[in-house]
Structure 1
Amino acid sequence: MTAAHLAPDTTALWSRSATSLAESIRSGEVSSRAVVQACLDRVADVNPAVNAATVVFTEQALQAADDADRAVRSGAELGPLHGVPISVKENVDLAWSATTHGLALFKDAIPDSDAVDVRRLREAGAIPLIRTNMPDMGMRWHTDNALHGATVNPWDPARTPGGSSGGEGVAVATGMTPLGLGNDYGGSIRLPAHANGVCGLKPTPGRIPLWRPGPGVFPLTAQLFSVEGPLGRTVDDVALGYEIMRGPCEIDPLTVPVAKDPYAGAPRRVAVVTDPGGLGTAPRITAAVRRAADALADAGWEVEEVEPPHIAEAALLWRELVVADLLEFLFNPAAGLVEHFSDGARDYTDQFVAHTRRLTLGDFGAAVSRRNEIRSAWSSFQASHPVILAPVITELPFAVGADLAGPDAVDEICHAHRLLVAVSCLGMPALALPVGTQSEAMPDGVQLIGPLFGEALCVAAGRELERACGAMTPIDPRPAR
């Protein structure tokens, strides 16, 4: 089902998918300059209402588009994203633009080179068009900071666009770019994808280079949980972005050389989870999961309602490990970062930490060990049920400001996000995607969780769902009520 506020001109260049645009540019049907200019015009039209784009690279993008068009005319070998504009979150290195992490402290921190994933996208022909907004150091499930202000959900301005890749989710949903680059530490790709009705792929840690050589400490939980990944309006687009970025590199010791699809020939069997851990799910969310399960069954997948073990425990481990790490390396006054946080970010982190058990070093080690035991149990479960179909979160995206309403309110949000963070804790790949809507207010969505390094399974099931349910974006931003 499409949205009533779908942008009226669905044939406009800015409304097309990245794969479609790349094909048209390579064939000479359209020019890269026309595509880039259309997206620049779209940014000018909609960004004032949603504040997703923080920096616009007008001159650089148009010059790159002209170079791309010359390459087409010359018959040069062209990459799979040749001439296609993309967006890049503000905590991913782009050589000519500050990596701000949402803090004024880093507003002039221009890196010496692109991050590996950005370099690979550019080598594939992609053209960075905009930077996108995020919360302070990515430490919030809502996108707002003192440097750039708040990003607005285009479906319902009263609800969060998600975080920390909220700017990416909104930019892709509103047609500013067809493909964006974000990252996921505790749902920061999947939540914005879900909140904005687009697709977001969280890969297995080690699939896409993440390591940032340089001064300072790379916290252990970042090494265990953090991943870079794509957001787009179609499953094919995020799959293409993932394929371009994946693979080991010499500077990242955490990447691993794994076959593209180690589960080729795995049974087309799906475990359906409607109420993770049996702790309660909103009826609308349950209905969306069941609707998706029916679509997969109609497509020939074997569907069974059964859930993997220890979901609630994995979610709690994620929170306890994250808090322990952040108290040591980020929230510690000696680090000199928290004093630069916005008031909202400081309030949120205080409330997020308030009810969380403080781990000793021994507790921390025991928690990491228990995490691996649960990962083993999930791997055994997924030997018979390779794909898990489940909610992204168990309630609608929260109302703006709800995450600042005190420790109890933050606990409720964490409760609703329990499977979101359990998947991050265990390192499983997951694809979030829309599955229609029961009303025009907000999109419905699900996540497809694969076994370790099973991204191809998530994509295969996602394509079936997309064929049944359709895409829901781009949209025009809905005015505040």
Structure 2
Amino acid sequence: MGNTELWRLTATETATATRAGDVTAEAVTRAALDRMAAANPALNAVVDPLDAEALERARALDAARAGGAAPGPLHGVPVTIKINVDQKGHATSNGVVALKDLIAPDDAPLVKNLQDAGAVVIGRTNTPEFSFRADTDNPLFGRTHNPWGDHVSAGGSSGGAGAAVMAGIGALAHGNDIGGSLRFPAAANGAVTVKPGLGRIAAWNPSQTAERGMLAQAMSVQGLLTRCAEDLHLSMPTMIAPDPRDPFHVPLPWRGEASDGPIRVGFTRDTFGFDLHPEVALALDAARDALRDAGYTVEEIDPPAMPETGSDGYRALMGEVKALMGPDIRANGSATINAIFDEYFDQFTPFEGTDLLRMMARRSHYAREWSLFLDRYPLVLCPFLPQPFFAPDRDVQGAEGVREVLGSAIWSYAMNFVGLPAGCVPARLSELSAGPQPISVQIVGRRWREDLVVDACAAVEQRLGRMCDALWARMG
């Protein structure tokens, strides 16, 4: 197997080869770094390359294995880390100029867990300022471009991660999600992801000087973007390893109990007043048919407590953001991000004071309604966005731009508010007038059953194919 081919391997294929001794961690790492050197200049996805550090670690892994040490489950797998999470000795800038010298004193739990499993961090990926846009651009590092072309945004806030993994820069890409920041870039670039539920992955940045707000703690989760669903089954057990620095982590195994019979899937095209684009409708139908072919029972449903779960949840989050992050955004954010937040606050009127406290309490009502519903339908297949993914900078184009980018994403942030797992998987490649782009669907799951969500994503992928293959054929 030549080095020119190694970057194309999935994480599962890479780990199988390195653990068996068929290829070295150093060879895999060099191939990933070579691919980064070739693809990243046009994308600006990795903004802190770690070539020397990565090769040193890969050699150490090879030496340990040669000395008899048992290789970890991710032995030699190249990964990227988003720049809003602590990695010892590197800046956790979060796309903010004022934070460019905020050097992490230690690794965040997920970075430690990945490296303990044998992964090799090859670079750190771009994010918008404060990780609070569905598009990725900032004054510190500039714009991340989508490998499908400049006609479509790379998404955000984990836009660098999504563009990198789909371009072949690392087999796994870390990201996080408070309102859609794993699923937006997955949909934009054609990656596969699962937003974990609340408490599944230990979270903590050692560089923090204060705790986050309660809704941020309840809605924000860490995760991975991959090129195939199988890689989530390989890597997520590592991601959910416990860490005492997160006192609310839930130490459950990755795999839950097997179903006694066919799993019932609720299916809806409801977009709550937003027009459903024909290409999105075709993607939903294709995913529905794939699940039926795989043995799932798919039934049309009316989703519970929607769209209030989403709209009330995001207004509550905006209330907390305005109170706790607002002064920092005003002081350290660019004119662009301040203008976007002005539109956010206009469109998602923040709950404040007693109203905010009441809505934080009402969150349990919405979560209960969803829990009761998912007791009958363990999975729900639904749109992610009602339209194909938007163009770069759509969210700086006034109220209509913000409405298209975030206002229509009710299915996204609703799942953050109630803390449910939600996967995003591509189900169609559309040849639109502006250019080609993937169309993704969302699969929501029962609490603690991310494994069921990934199984369903894998069933869709098995019938419809991996999006990276079509992308690489175009990239050359």
Please report the TM-score for the alignment, with normalisation by the length of structure 2.
0.94
1:420 to 412, 419, 425: 412
Instruction: Report if aligned partners of 1:277, 1:310 keep a CA contact under 8 Å in 2.
Output: no
Instruction: Report if aligned partners of 1:233, 1:471 keep a CA contact under 8 Å in 2.
Output: yes
Give the count of matched residue pairs: 468
Q: How far apart in 1 are the matches of 2:159 and 2:191?
A: 11
1:448 to 439, 443, 449: 443
CA deviation digits over 1:19-51, x for unaligned, max 9? Answer: 101111111211111111111111111111111
Q: How far apart in 2 are the matches of 1:174 and 1:55?
A: 17
Letter in 2 for 1:282: H
Deviation at 1:342, TM superposition (A): 2.5
Q: Within 5 A, what are the aligned runs for 1:174-253?
A: 174-212=167-205, 214-253=208-247
Q: How far apart in 1 are the matches of 2:423 and 2:404?
A: 24
Letter in 1 for 2:212: F
Instruction: Report if aligned partners of 1:371, 1:426 keep a CA contact under 8 Å in 2.
Output: yes
Q: How far apart in 1 are the matches of 2:75 and 2:405?
A: 41
Matched, 1:397 2:392: no
The equivalent residue for 2:295 is 300
Between 1 and 2, higher relative CO (CA 8 Å, sep ≥ 6) is seen in 1
Q: How far apart in 2 are the matches of 1:418 and 1:191?
A: 12
Instruction: Report if aligned partners of 2:3, 2:31 keep a CA contact under 8 Å in 1.
Output: no
Bigger CA drift: 410-419 or 253-262? 253-262
The equivalent residue for 2:6 is 13
Are the structure 2 counterparts of residues 276 and 11 from structure 1 closer, same or farther at C-alpha, using a change threshold of 3 Å?
farther
Bigger CA drift: 366-375 or 142-151? 366-375
Matched, 1:131 2:124: yes
Does the residue aligned with 1:86 lie in a helix, a strand or coil?
A: strand
The equivalent residue for 2:454 is 459
Matched, 1:161 2:150: no
Q: Identity of aligned pairs, percent?
A: 35
Instruction: Report if aligned partners of 1:202, 1:430 keep a CA contact under 8 Å in 2.
Output: yes
CA deviation digits over 1:29-85, x for unaligned, max 9? Answer: 111111111111111111111110101111111111111222232231110111111
Does the residue aligned with 2:326 lie in a helix, a strand or coil?
A: coil
Bigger CA drift: 16-25 or 356-365? 356-365
Please report the TM-score for the alignment, with normalisation by the length of structure 1.
0.93
Deviation at 1:260, TM superposition (A): 3.4
CA deviation digits over 1:96-128, x for unaligned, max 9? Answer: 211111112111211111100110100000011
2:47 to 54, 57, 64: 54
Instruction: Report if aligned partners of 2:329, 2:338 keep a CA contact under 8 Å in 1.
Output: no
Q: How far apart in 2 are the matches of 1:425 and 1:473?
A: 31
CA deviation digits over 1:120-155, x for unaligned, max 9? Answer: 100000011010000001011100000000001111
The equivalent residue for 1:325 is 320
Q: Considering only aligned residues, what root-mean-square deviation do their CA atoms show, in Å?
A: 1.9
Q: How far apart in 1 are the matches of 2:242 and 2:38?
A: 39
Bigger CA drift: 289-298 or 341-350? 341-350
Deviation at 1:413, TM superposition (A): 2.6
CA deviation digits over 1:293-324, x for unaligned, max 9? Answer: 00110111101111321221111112211211
Q: How far apart in 1 are the matches of 2:229 and 2:313?
A: 28
Instruction: Report if aligned partners of 1:154, 1:476 keep a CA contact under 8 Å in 2.
Output: no
Deviation at 1:337, TM superposition (A): 4.1
Q: Within 5 A, what are the aligned runs for 1:5-44?
A: 12-44=5-37
Give unpaired runs (5+ residues) of structure 2. none
Give unpaired runs (5+ residues) of structure 1. 1-8
CA deviation digits over 1:191-210, x for unaligned, max 9? Answer: 10111011111101100011
Q: How far apart in 2 are the matches of 1:403 and 1:48?
A: 25
Q: How far apart in 1 are the matches of 2:89 and 2:135?
A: 27
Does the residue aligned with 2:468 lie in a helix, a strand or coil?
A: coil
1:173 to 142, 166, 176: 166
Deviation at 1:11, TM superposition (A): 7.3
Instruction: Report if aligned partners of 2:287, 2:460 keep a CA contact under 8 Å in 1.
Output: yes
Matched, 1:357 2:349: yes
The equivalent residue for 1:382 is 374
